[in-house]
Amino acid sequence: MRSTRCARAPRAEVGSAVVDFVLVLVVLIPLFLGILQLALVLHVRNTLTAAASDGARYAATVDRDPADGAAHTRAQISGALSDRFAREVTARQTRVDGAAAVEVIVVAEVPALGLWGPAVRLQVEGHATEESP
């Protein structure tokens, strides 16, 4: 009969895998959370921009006014994200390259640390040329 012996690490290295794992996690967890936060801010910014542009296009139609565009923008933001991002929505008539247009401005604060913490202030705008009757 043969006797089998397990190869064991020297006593000085016992438990070193746990230390290595913790050291790697100390670097990887903040990196992962930072990428996740960046994705959250970009998602909110892109959603707000799309809602502002759509609200401006809605207000620029013949039978609408800027207040209708602001209400439409608020409804889209509330449906896609949350009511708290739709608090500061303004719309006004303006001129773009000499043509009558509608401008919708959305100002929102996105928490910088996940869903809590200090906020990053975002301001996005949407423009559309008004239709003529």
Q: Cα(82)–Cα(75) distance, rounded to whole angstroms? A: 10
Q: Per residue in 49-79, pLDDT tens?
A: 999 999 999 999 989 999 999 999 999 999 9
Q: Cα(119)–Cα(112) distance, rounded to whole angstroms? A: 5
Q: Per residue in 74-122, pLDDT tens?
A: 999 999 999 999 999 999 999 989 999 999 999 999 887 766 678 889 9
Q: Is residue 10 part of a domain?
A: no
Q: Is residue 9 part of a domain?
A: no
Domain count, the chain: 1
Q: Cα(122)–Cα(48) distance, rounded to whole angstroms? A: 9
Q: Is residue 36 part of a domain?
A: yes
Find out whether 55 and 127 touch, Cβ atoms under 8 Å.
Answer: no
Q: Domain range holding 102?
A: 20-129
| Model pTM score | 0.81
